[in-house]
Amino acid sequence: MIAAISTEIIGYVASALVVLALTMRSIVRLRIISLCGSVTFLAYGWMIGSVPIIITNTSIAAINLWFLRREFLVRPSDRGDLGVSHIRPDSPFLVDFIEYHADDIGRFQPGFFMPPTDGVMSLLLTRDGLPAGVLIGRRQGETLVIDLDYVLREHRDSRLGKWLFGHGSSVFRDAGLRRLVADPGAADHERYLRSVGFAPSSDDGTAYELVL
């Protein structure tokens, strides 16, 4: 009786993990929770002797591991799914993109406002050929003062920022830039800047820089 109840509980836990995975907007979190759900279902299938459940969830676990491998084990420089391209700062697409995500942008960079287009560099970040974020900054000689560095919620775990400021930083050097400066804004954005290689350029921490 106790063994039957324990088996049923494992089945409910597996079901809950599958449902929880479907609520995740982050692709990486979705796959991690889905992996946990499939492994739990695999254990459940083994306990009740269901071959179809074992085969199905072994396959799902393998698929999740394959895609998570790309996220965590493949170096950013070897990832062909990430990209960046120039876009006009007055492009209707860019304007609509920023307006649509204004509330989410305000959480990380509450002081952002679109600067005048003169001397502005704007970049569209992509993943798998689809828009994943934007970067907007003002040129000051060989320095780019970044006003907005925003990545869509579902791609914030894809190491897009590390790729852009690492292997993808040629987009800045090709434009004659040698230094990037950013205002940390909110605490979450400050942690992000540190994680992608920026360092404080002032004693009070009001500015961060990355030398290319």
3-state helix/strand/coil string of 168-198? HHHHHHCCCCCEEEECCCCHHHHHHHHHCCC
78-211 carries CATH number 2.60.40.60: no
- Please tell me whether the overall predicted TM-score, pTM, comes out greater than 0.75 for this model: no
pLDDT class of 109 with cuts at 50, 70, 90: confident
**How far is CA 154 from its chain centroid?**
6
pLDDT class of 76 with cuts at 50, 70, 90: low
State which H helix or E strand residue 128 sits in. none
Mean pLDDT within 189-193: 85
d(CA 139, CA 130): 26
What is the predicted pLDDT for the residue at 138? 93
How do residues 37-58 score in pLDDT, each as one tens digit? 999 989 988 988 889 888 899 9
Show Cβ contacts of residue 115 under 8 Å, excluding neighbours closer than 6 positions: 89, 136, 138, 147
How do residues 160-187 score in pLDDT, each as one tens digit? 888 899 888 999 999 999 999 998 877 7
What is the predicted pLDDT for the residue at 4? 61
d(CA 137, CA 149): 9
Residue 75 has pLDDT above 70, yes or no: no
Show Cβ contacts of residue 142 under 8 Å, excluding neighbours closer than 6 positions: 176, 177, 178, 179
Mean pLDDT within 94-119: 86
Residue 149 has pLDDT above 70, yes or no: yes
What is the predicted pLDDT for the residue at 177? 93
What is the predicted pLDDT for the residue at 74? 65
3-state secondary structure of 19: helix
What is the predicted pLDDT for the residue at 123? 95
Task: Give the domain ranges of the chain.
Answer: 2-72, 78-211
